[in-house]
Chains A and B, each alone.
Chain A
Amino acid sequence: MVTNYFTQAAGSDNSTAPASKPVADKCVVKNLNFFYGELQALKSISMTVYEKQVTALIGPSGCGKSTFLRCFNRMHDLYSGNRYDGEIILHPDNENILSRAVDPIEVRMRIGMVFQKPNPFPKSIFENVAYGLRIRGINKRAILEEKVETALRNAALWGEAKDRLNDLAFNLSGGQQQRLCIARALATDPELLLFDEPTSALDPAATASIEELITDLKNKVTILIVTHNMQQAARVSDFTAYMYVGELIEFGVTDTIFIKPKHKQTEDYITGRFG
């Protein structure tokens, strides 16, 4: 049933897709169920994440949007008792990243993540960004320096950080720390970047700068973002998925979802009548 919405959103000619160019599939989620032990947290979710687009996951607390996001980089594998059922096909390889045959480390090397609260390591700014490169065996100073600079530039932090690369990351402000975490994720050129409520711990000014950054980044990387803030979803995303208690209620082009939602429930949530 959900399938209809995303086909409409992506395929129909009269859709209000913000990108006029055709959009390719990056991740296709097929019938995804997820269990924390006995508890089923996600119920047969099917949707597509389009390449070089921003897809927002919205819904009230506890609806499973973060759980869903953390399936994309197999974060749930870190804790015992969690179980996936279904597929997330990553393109262009056409590989099911939830398959037991696929090493979660490999998935995380290809798919980056930015967390709710800025979580820089208690190391220097430089080492924070370089860490992903180092664990890929890159240790040549020149290459590290170049990649760190590119990542910091892409995260709009170079100007503020270039003179203090050896400072501890904790000396940065909250918004700067979050951009540092984005730089850390960008340094290794991820194919997909996951954002888990990246601005919920930030003040409005820092939030605005992160949102601007996300808009800039979508030319380089596919983005999937969880947000509890509907205005944010409307501002930054091209596609929006509305979830409720583990189910995907509606998925489509952001403008459509916000202006003409198909479901009464989506409309109620978006207009603030509940949630």
Chain B
Amino acid sequence: MDHDKNLTEIRMMIARHRRWDRLFLITGIVTLMIAMLIFFALIMGMVIDGMPRLTLDFFTSFPSRRPGAAGILSAWVGTTLVMLVTAVAAVPLGVSAGVYLEEYAPKNLLTEIIEINVTNLAGVPSIIYGLLALGLFVYQLGLGQSILAAGLTLALLILPVVIVATREAIRSIPVSIREGAYAVGATKWQTVSDHILPYSSAGILTGIIIGLARAIGETAPIITIGALTFIAFLPTSPIQSEFPFLSFEWLMAPFTVMPIQMFNWVSRPEEAFQLNAAAAGLVLVVMTLAMNGLAIYLRYNLRKKIKW
């Protein structure tokens, strides 16, 4: 009798506690749905407006005063080249900085200050980077309003992301693997190059791609350094038919990028330009999603081999 009563009490108590489980679950699903719905509505809006404009001509035409003839050729070429410069500058710098901080830096006050700074830099508004770049790259170093200046600016912007991702990836390697390498007589550099970097490559790559996906949509710092909004020519091709086959003239060329082209079209009064903006936005979103997809794919594939 007493036993049964106890059991009933326990069951009632569990039921009471379970209520919180359910409440949290419902709240979570509702919040998630709201976020998904907004995202979906945005994408659908762009698809409906922009889809009819997404023809091959749209990708191979320069901007024009006639909305029907305008395209994003100079914008996507500019974005691609700027991203190339950004990656070339940010990846070696960010990864080495991450490796240094994790593996080499002595644990002292200076290192700690650097660490806090790097983390905080990730939260600095992007326009501040634009101002820095305007003073440093454009005027001080005389790079002008070029692809190089823009690429370096965005590299600065994503550097903290790459550094933090590198450090996180390195930190997820168990100490026992590191000690295993040292125990057979490896030096620090051998341990880093034979073990730390290969085993953390999935995480590092993810960080790089997420960083680039952020940079691709940045507008403020690029406007600050003075990117043009109307470009009807392409920079010199990096590949030449004559010796030495490579040209770096494009680095110094004026340029525009996708978000600026979009911004330009959005600010026009004509309705038809709004459709162009939607189409360009759709391309930009697809580019970003594709990069994130690639990051997920790479992470999944590289991690399959590694089990700690």
Contacts and interface: CB of A to CB of B under 8 A. Distances in A.
B295 to A, nearest CB: 20
Given A122-B305, A170-B307, A112 B181 contact: no
A116 B176 CA distance: 9
Nearest to B183: A113
A131 B194 CA distance: 9
A181 interface: yes
B195 interface: yes
A228 interface: no
A115 B185 contact: no
Interface stretch (A6-14, A53-61, A73-81, A209-217): A73-81
Interface string A98-121: 000000011011001101010111
Contacts of A106: 185
A119 B185 contact: no
Given A119-B174, A119-B180, A109 B185 contact: yes
A191 to B, nearest CB: 13
A136 interface: yes
Candidate in B185, B305, B306 with the most chain A CB atoms within 10 angstroms: B185
Given A105-B187, A121-B195, A78 B307 contact: no
A108 B183 contact: yes
B296 interface: no
7 contacts: A75-B183, A108-B183, A112-B184, A119-B177, A131-B181, A135-B194, A188-B185
A185 interface: yes
B184 A188 contact: yes
Chain B interface, >50% SS class: helix
A76 to B, nearest CB: 11
A73 B187 CA distance: 14
Contacts of A122: 177, 199, 305-307
Interface string B93-109: 00000000000001100
Nearest to A132: B184
Given A80-B107, A131-B194, A135-B190, A121 B182 contact: no
Complex A-B, nearest 8 residue pairs according to Cβ-Cβ distance, in ascending order: A109-B185, A132-B184, A119-B176, A113-B183, A119-B180, A108-B185, A122-B306, A170-B307
Contacts, number: 65
A102 B174 CA distance: 28
B270 interface: no
Contacts of A168: 305
Interface string B155-192: 00000000000000000001011111111111100100
A184 interface: yes
A270 B185 CA distance: 36
Interface residues of A, number: 26
Interface string A122-137: 1000000001100110
Contacts of B306: 122, 170
A108 B199 contact: no
Contacts of B177: 119, 121-122
Given A75-B182, A109-B184, A121-B177, 10 more contacts: A105-B185, A109-B185, A115-B180, A119-B179, A122-B177, A135-B190, A135-B194, A170-B306, A181-B180, A188-B185
Nearest to A122: B306
Contacts of A78: 178-179, 182
A131 B179 contact: no
Nearest to A73: B183
Contacts of B181: 121, 131
A115 B179 contact: yes
Nearest to B173: A122
A121 B186 CA distance: 13
Contacts of A115: 176, 179-180, 183
Contacts of B182: 75, 78, 108
Contacts of A181: 180
B184 A185 contact: yes
A115 B181 CA distance: 12
A132 B190 CA distance: 11
Interface string B190-225: 100011000100000000000000000000000000
A181 B181 CA distance: 11
Name the residue in B174, B184, B307 with the highest tally of chain A Cβ atoms < 10 Å from its Cβ: B184
Contacts of A117: 176
A168 B199 CA distance: 14
A105 B185 CA distance: 5
A135 B195 contact: no
A77 B109 CA distance: 21
